[in-house]
């Protein structure tokens, strides 16, 4: 009886806790744990403004609040501009599906408005990004795993948010690597799709530069994909080159943004080798296909 009571108490405590993504244990966010703090008063040479911070979140809320509602949740994006934390989190508390964004991340020198939008999309992706899901000790959790949230960001989310924008004008002001322009032109026949492909890829570059800066390593490259092949799907943060590869492949995937992903299927709404796709696949540096 004592063991039963202890078990019930533990279950009650766990049920009362909100679980943070981005890691299985809930201790980390979009980035691995770090003590970097960029205050609102700190001088900086890059990052985005408060207006850009709010505009990006406004766009994401406008597009995704109704879609989250269709899934039974209420999207709540917390705007912590004054908080210097360099990270972002997703959380579910009952029917409230929360995304926490911080000014410290937005103020980092590597972050562009599009890079910040990608992070917002990644966090939304934990809620509705589909399979594969993080694996807990008892079952699959509510959260899409790290690689899938990355993939969802460029595969679906940024495309929806930017579909009515003048993307040609946006990318005209970017220094786009030849590898990106060539791959996007090969994959997409329409100029509208090409422009979003380039823009999403470059958003990935912004975030990859952030990963590299935090680790004191060289930035990822579109021409040197991560050669690692996992033996089982890795739910946690992939290496920063692997994450850049994931953003790039999501941007290149030819599947429509309107074809939704599913919680129970790694195939639906994605580019997958079982469907004959050879481009736009989730990289094998974190993803082990369960369906052949």
User: What are the pLDDT digits (tens) for 33-92?
Assistant: 888 999 999 988 899 999 999 999 999 999 999 999 999 999 999 999 999 999 999 999
Residue 167: closest CA among 150, 184, 191, 185: 191
Neighbouring C-beta atoms of residue 86, cutoff 10 Å? 24
Confidence of residue 138 (pLDDT cuts 50, 70, 90): low
258: pLDDT strictly greater than 90: yes
Residue position matching structure tokens 């694996």: 135
Residue position matching structure tokens 């940024």: 158
User: What are the pLDDT digits (tens) for 188-222?
Assistant: 999 999 999 999 999 999 999 999 998 889 999 99
Q: What is the pTM of this model?
A: 0.91
Q: What is the pLDDT of residue 32?
A: 83
Residue 51's alpha-carbon distances to 48, 56, 57, 138, 158, in angstroms, are 8, 9, 10, 43, 19
Domain ranges for the chain, please list them.
24-275
Mean pLDDT of 176-197: 98
139: pLDDT strictly greater than 60: no
Neighbouring C-beta atoms of residue 250, cutoff 10 Å? 31
Q: Provide the token pair at 169.
A: 């004008």
The answer, yes or no, to whether the previous bond of 130 is cis (omega within 30 of 0) is no
Confidence of residue 140 (pLDDT cuts 50, 70, 90): low
Check if the beta carbon of residue 263 is closer than 8 Å to that of residue 143.
no
Rg (CA), the chain: 19
Check if the beta carbon of residue 33 is closer than 8 Å to that of residue 20.
no
Average pLDDT, the chain: 90
User: What are the pLDDT digits (tens) for 99-135?
Assistant: 999 999 999 999 999 999 999 999 999 999 999 999 8
10: pLDDT strictly greater than 90: no
């Amino acid at each position: 009886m004592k063991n039963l009571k202890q078990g019930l108490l533990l279950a009650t405590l766990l049920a009362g806790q909100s679980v943070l993504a981005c890691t299985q244990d809930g201790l980390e966010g979009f980035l691995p744990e770090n003590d970097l703090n960029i205050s609102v008063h700190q001088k900086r040479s890059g990052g985005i403004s408060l207006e850009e911070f709010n505009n990006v979140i406004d766009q994401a809320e406008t597009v995704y609040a109704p879609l989250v509602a269709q899934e039974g949740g209420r999207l709540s994006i917390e705007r912590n501009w004054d908080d210097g934390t360099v990270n972002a989190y997703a959380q579910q508390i009952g029917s409230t599906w929360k995304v926490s964004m911080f000014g410290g991340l937005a103020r980092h020198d590597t972050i562009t408005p599009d890079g910040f939008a990608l992070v917002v999309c990644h966090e939304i992706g934990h809620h509705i990004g589909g399979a594969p899901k993080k694996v807990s000790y008892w079952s699959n959790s509510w959260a899409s795993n790290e690689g899938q949230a990355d993939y969802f960001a460029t595969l679906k989310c940024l495309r929806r948010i930017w579909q009515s924008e003048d993307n040609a004008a946006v990318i005209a002001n970017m220094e786009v690597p030849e590898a990106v322009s060539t791959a996007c032109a090969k994959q997409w026949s329409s100029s509208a799709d090409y422009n979003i492909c380039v823009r999403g890829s470059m958003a990935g570059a912004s975030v990859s530069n952030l990963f590299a800066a935090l680790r004191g390593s060289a930035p990822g490259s579109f021409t040197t994909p991560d050669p690692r092949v996992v033996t089982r799907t890795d739910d946690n943060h992939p290496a920063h080159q692997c994450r850049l590869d994931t953003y790039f492949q999501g941007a290149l995937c030819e599947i429509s943004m309107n074809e939704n992903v599913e919680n129970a299927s790694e195939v639906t709404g994605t580019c997958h080798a079982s469907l004959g796709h050879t481009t736009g696949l989730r990289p094998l540096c974190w993803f082990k296909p369960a369906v052949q």
